[in-house]
Chain A
Amino acid sequence: MQKIGVFVCWCGSNIAGTVDVEAVSEAMKSVPGVVYSANYQYMCSAAGQKLIADAIHEHHLDGIVVASCSPRMHENTFRKTAEAAGLNPYMVEIANIREQCSWIHKDKEEGTAKAIVLARTAVAKLLHNKPLQAGTSAVTKRALVIGGGIAGIQTALDVADAGYEVDIVEQRPTIGGRMAQLDKTFPTLDCSACILTPKMVEASQNEKINIISYAKVEKVDGFVGNFKATIRKKARFVDETKCTGCSLCMSKCPSKKGKDEFNMEMNNRPAIYIPFAQAIPNVAVIDPEQCLKLKTGKCGLCEKVCTAGAINYKQQDELIEREYGAIVVATGFKPIDPSPLNEYGYADNADVITSLELERLMNAAGPTKGTLLRPSDLQHPHEIVFIQCVGSRCDENTKRGKPYCSKICCMYTAKHAMLIRDKYPDTKVHVFYIDVRTPGKNFDEFYRRAVEQYGVDYIKGMVGKVAKEGDKLMVRGSDLINNQQVEIAADLVVLATAIEPDPTARSIGTMLTASMDTNDFFTEAHAKLRPVESPTAGIFLSGVAQGPKDVPETVAQASAAAAKVIGLLAKDHLVTNPCVAYSNELLCNGCSQCEKVCPYGAITYIEKEVRGPGVREVRRIAQVNPAVCQGCGACTVTCPSGAMDLKGFANKQIMAEVDAICL
């Protein structure tokens, strides 16, 4: 028979106000197994903990029940108390008589009766507890950052600053991401490249940071502290170690039909190209779809002009296998394609453009060298209409777009409108809006400046139709404040398109078993208290991959994710939670149900010789990796043969609790 001690906490008047704590501790004395029972004003205080420790020694207790607040609050406190007093920390059970009893009851008699039942239930479970030993696993002191935009760069810089190695895997030929495509940033209007490219250079020069560009993560195995990733580095057909970035090849390349992705495909680029002047790595890449040499075998001009001898038409994809302790998802976003919303005429009119296309049209490195010219005839537009919320804030059943607010559009539209009015005062600028949402430091002031100082015409209402008439775009919309329908003959229409996660996000989420919402944004472990961690241990979230956000927010989150990564990598060993699932190999029938329901990928099936009474054969059985298992218990309730059980929460323990309640 075990010797159990019960400790009832008053929590000041929090519990004692509604529960007769004296009666509870008295009632517990007659419960089988209980040899000691006491109550105290604040059990979590130093004096309270001493009371527990003394009782453990004096009465040789081998298990304790603390009837107090939620285990989320103080379970760890009391486990430490027990451990210090020589007890296994998993021989501690908490009866929650505060949140689940005193706080929700008014009648003291009822409250007391319920507290007794809850304490008795904890004792019933404790009688079946077994001492558990927390294991440890080593930590590989290197982080993998997927995505080399501002989010990934900032996380990598901060992690490297703490002294750990970081690999950035970027799918495009250069890091920089979306921010590199922006002309100016709100609300300060500093040049985006001027603040981003120094960070790109810093990342490339940091000896702890290894940039693997034009690559994708193909496979990830393992668990927190011990991930193993396979990275496919695509063939660029240019030797990265030799290319000097002189761009002579670009000017000589006869194939000029490639679409310039960096300029939102508004102009062409050669088959061999460097995405933009400040690209990192500043190394050319050959587009195999456009290269004459690779397609027909005839040409080879770039090889002839390259003084560094960097061109290699026979280069193959390279597979890199590396181990990591932590993985950061910084996969970013793309604007949606507004073509299906045909009332805006985006697909049919060159002069209906997206906001990101406008960024390129206004940028000195863009297709028009920074002079705002409309795409159809390269004329200066004198009347411009901006349309907000294109594909954002839609009812999902309408299939017209995303259900969420894309968050950044109100501010960048105010920025565009202001910049245009500043540079071209002869241009009229109208903005159709539903709401102007500007929460953020100096954000509303920024928007007001667009209206009050720059005379931007904000129209409360939406656009119903954009139609081409001659060389004008007739924009018809509602003006709800003036209660009229308006028609504007515009030269250029700019759509503030919704943003969505990068198309690679879903497959990366699946690969990492990191949960995502229905919009393919990564889910955080806790919406408020753990916003930069995925529920999957060792996976961290940075930037728009987690939800729409602007540059300052992205940088803040990126640094927060880095802090979490550093906290993990700083440990030599991880203490694993011993409350994990395990499979009774004699009962396991190899059905794979548990493997399918496991959200963490902790269960694998192995062929193993099973030995038992009258049994000796090779069977396919489930095996749980205790370092990956989070102890959620999904497998234990799924298992049809009762082979799966959870340490610390065994089926037997749960049933004993149920019996104790129903007594």
Chain B
Amino acid sequence: MENHVQMLTETALRISGVNPQKCMKCGKCSGTCPSYDAMEYHPHQFVAMVEKGQIEKLMESDSIYMCLSCMACVERCPRGVEPGKLVEAVRLMKIRQQDQNRKNGNDIAAFADENVPQQLLMAAMRKYRK
């Protein structure tokens, strides 16, 4: 069990290239995050939980899909921890595990209406392509 947790942690760190020990727990990432209220676990918690090996909780949480990948947290982190990359990494781990995306790339077009910006559609296409 312990090996499994260690393996997950190492995978998350390898994919993201993040060193959570650089974090000084200032909370700037969560102060910045536009999706904060939609997330069960907030950006600063991603950093702390990965450090403590609680990856599975994160993988099971909808938080990984609520992140907009705007990378404001990456831009503003004073310690260069880059929490957004960690969220992406956990999301990738989940996707690879299931071998499928949360949404199908073919369904994205159905979301298009006049309120949805072009940029969002493009991003979604990229994100959920096979």
Chain A residues packing against B (C-beta within 8 Å): 343, 389, 393-395, 397-398, 400-401, 432, 434, 460-465, 476-480, 483, 485
Number of interface residues of B (CB under 8 A): 21
Contact among B24, B30, B31 for A393, CB-based, below 8 A:
B24
B17 lies within 8 A of chain A by Cβ: no
Q: Which residues of chain B come closer than 8 Å to A432, judged between CB atoms?
A: 31
- A462 and B77 alpha carbons, distance in the complex (Å): 10
Partner of B27, one of A393, A394, A480: A480
A390 smallest CB distance to B (angstroms): 9
Q: CB-CB < 8 A to A478: which residues of B?
A: 27-31, 36, 42, 44
Q: Within 8 Å CB of B36, what residues of A?
A: 478, 485
User: Apart from A476-B32, A478-B30, what are 20 other A-B pairs with CB-CB below 8 Å?
Assistant: A343-B76, A389-B26, A389-B78, A393-B78, A393-B79, A394-B78, A395-B79, A398-B79, A400-B76, A434-B24, A460-B27, A462-B28, A463-B28, A465-B31, A476-B31, A478-B28, A478-B36, A478-B42, A478-B44, A485-B36
CB <8 Å contact, A477 and B31: yes
Cβ B78 vs Cβ A400 within 8 A = yes
For B76, what are the chain A residues with a Cβ–Cβ distance below 8 Å? 343, 400, 464
1/0 contact trace for B17-49 toward A, CB 8 Å? 000001011111111110011000010100000
B72 at the interface (CB under 8 A from A): yes
Chain A residue numbers with a CB within 8 Å of B80 are 395, 397-398
Q: How far is the CB of B105 from chain A (nearest CB, A)?
A: 32
Cα A480 to Cα B78 with chains together (Å): 17
A465 CA to B76 CA, complexed, in Å:
10
Minimal Cβ-Cβ distance residue in A for B37: A485
Cross-chain contact B22 with A461 (CB below 8 angstroms): no
Distance (whole angstroms) from the CB of B66 to the closest CB of chain A: 13
Q: Are B25 and A464 in contact (CB under 8 A)?
A: no
Q: Kindly name the residue among B25, B29, B42, B76 whose own CB sees the greatest number of chain A CB atoms within 10 A.
A: B76
Q: Shortest beta-carbon distance, A466 to chain B, in Å?
A: 11
| B residues neighboring A (CB under 8 Å) | 22, 24-33, 36-37, 42, 44, 72, 76-80
Contact A464:B33 (CB < 8 A) given known A480-B27, A483-B42: yes
Q: How far is the CB of A312 from the nearest CB of chain B, in Å?
A: 51
**Min CB gap B18→A, angstroms:** 12
- Top 4 A-B pairs ranked by shortest CB distance? A464-B32, A464-B31, A462-B28, A477-B31
Contacting residues, chain A, for B28 (C-beta < 8 A): 462-464, 478
CA distance A515 to B24 in the complex (A): 30
Q: How distant is the Cα of A343 from the Cα of B32 in the complex, in angstroms?
A: 9
Contacts of B31 in A (CB 8 A): 432, 461-465, 476-478, 485
Nearest B residue (CB) for A485: B36
15 contacts between A and B (CB under 8 A): A343-B76, A394-B79, A398-B77, A462-B28, A464-B29, A464-B30, A464-B31, A465-B32, A478-B29, A478-B30, A478-B31, A479-B27, A480-B25, A480-B27, A480-B30
Whether the Cβ atoms of A398 and B30 lie closer than 8 Å is no
CB distance from A597 to the nearest CB of B (A): 34
Residue picked from B25, B36, B78, most chain A C-beta under 10 Å: B78
Q: Which residue in chain B gives the minimum CB-CB distance to A486?
A: B31
Contacts of A480 in B (CB 8 A): 25, 27, 30, 44
A461 touches B27 (CB 8 A): yes
Which B residue's beta carbon lies closest to that of A481? B27
| A458 to B33 CA separation, bound complex (whole angstroms) | 21
Q: A residues within 8 A CB of B42?
A: 478, 483, 485
In the complex, chain B residues whose CB is within 8 Å of the CB of A479: 27
Chain B residue nearest to A395 in the complex (CB): B80
Hey, which chain B residues are within 8 Å of A393, CB to CB?
A: 24, 78-79
Instruction: Kindly identify which residue among A389, A401, A464 contacts B72, using a CB–CB cutoff of 8 Å.
Output: A464
A645 to B22, CA, bound (A): 47
Question: Please, how many angstroms separate the alpha-carbon atoms of A343 and B77 in the complex?
Answer: 11
Complex alpha-carbon distance, A485 and B36, angstroms: 7
A485–B24 Cα distance when bound, in Å, is: 18
Measured CB to CB, the closest approach of chain B to A235, in angstroms, equals 44
User: A401 and B27: CB pair below 8 A?
Assistant: no
Q: How far is the CA of A476 from the CA of B30 in the complex (A)?
A: 10
Residue contact A461 to B32, C-beta cutoff 8 Å: no
Bound-complex Cα distance A202 to B72 (A): 53
CA distance A393 to B22 in the complex (A): 11
Kindly state the separation between the CA atoms of A113 and B47 in the bound complex, as whole angstroms.
55
Identify the closest chain B residue to A479 (Cβ): B27
Q: How far is the CA of A462 from the CA of B44 in the complex (A)?
A: 11
Report Cα–Cα, A393/B78, bound state, in Å.
7
Q: How far is the CB of B60 from chain A (nearest CB, A)?
A: 19
Chain B: CB-nearest residue to A394: B78
Whether the Cβ atoms of B27 and A395 lie closer than 8 Å is: no
Tell me how far the C-beta of B37 lies from the nearest C-beta in chain A, rounded to whole angstroms: 7
Report the bound CA distance from A400 to B77 in whole Å.
9
Q: Once the chains bind, are A434 and B32 in contact (CB under 8 Å)?
A: no
Q: Which residues of B contact A343 (CB under 8 A)?
A: 32, 76
Which residues of A are found within 8 Å of B22, using beta-carbon distances?
A: 395
Which B residues touch A463, using CB under 8 A? 28, 31
Verify A462–B79 contact, CB threshold 8 A: no
B44 shortest CB reach to chain A, Å: 7
Give the CA-CA distance A257 to B76 in the complex, in Å: 37
Verify A434–B25 contact, CB threshold 8 A.
yes
Check A485 against B78 for contact (C-beta < 8 Å).
no
Bound-state CA distance A393–B34 (Å) is: 24
User: In the complex, A463 Cα to B26 Cα: how many Å?
Assistant: 9
User: A476 to chain B: which residues have CB within 8 Å?
Assistant: 31-32
**A401 with B37: in contact, given A461-B26, A464-B72, A478-B44 (CB under 8 Å)?**
no
Specify which of B26, B30, B72 is in contact with A485 (CB 8 Å cutoff): B30
Expressed in whole angstroms, the minimum distance between the Cβ of B55 and any Cβ of chain A is 20
Closest to B30 in A: A478
Q: Which residues of A contact B77 (CB under 8 A)?
A: 398
* Contact residues in A for B44 (Cβ distance below 8 Å): 478, 480
Residues of B within 8 A of A483 (CB): 42
Complex contact B78–A401 (CB within 8 A): yes
Q: How far, in Å, is A396 (CB) from chain B's closest CB?
A: 9
Q: How far is the CB of B88 from chain A (nearest CB, A)?
A: 19
Chain B residue at minimum C-beta to C-beta distance from A483: B42
Q: What is the distance, in angstroms, from A325's C-beta to the closest C-beta of chain B? A: 44
**Nearest-neighbor residue (CB-CB) of A464 within chain B:** B32
A397–B42 alpha-carbon span in the complex (Å): 24
Whether B33 lies near A434 (C-beta < 8 A) is no
CB of A338, distance to nearest CB on chain B (Å): 13
Min distance, Cβ B78 to any Cβ of chain A, angstroms: 4
Question: Least Cβ distance of B91 to chain A in Å?
Answer: 21
